[in-house]
Amino acid sequence: MEDKLKQIDIENKIWIIYIGIIILSWYSNYLEKDYFLNNNKNSKDSYQRIIIIIFAILVVVYFYFLQSSYKDLKNIKPEDTDEKKLLIYLSFVGSLFVFLSGLIFLYIALNNENLDVELAFN
């Protein structure tokens, strides 16, 4: 019970991080638009830095969820139902894919010099 409450507390903090990411994303879109409309080099540089920060933060958050899913996977009990075992396994696989997508998007953000690749995340 104590572990579950601690996990919920951490997840509540992650929601605050997501709110910050939404605000940063909105601001980065403003800077990207300024760069394309006015060819403002400072806006381009700021936009790229913010995008890298956003995806670096997301990779850390996604890694947390991957670790949590792995812990659940390791804690499967023989008496758990087949359905529960399957759902825990699928949750781990989903978390792994989300983490890998975060790494890929971070790589793109680090290497997208001309802002010609659209990055999206959910």
How deeply is 14 buried, as exposed, middle or buried, from its count of CB atoms within 10 A (0-12, 13-18, 19+)?
middle
Task: Provide the Cα torsion 100, 106, 107, 111; round to 10°.
Answer: 160
Strands (E), 12-114: none
What are the residue ranges spanned by the domains of the chain?
2-111
Contact 109, 119 (CB under 8 A): yes
The structure's pTM equals 0.86
Closest alpha carbon to 95 in 57, 63, 120: 63
Per-residue pLDDT of the chain (122 residues; tens, 9 = 90+): 888 899 899 999 999 999 999 999 999 999 999 999 999 999 999 999 999 999 999 999 999 999 999 999 999 999 999 999 999 999 999 999 999 999 999 999 999 887 777 766 54
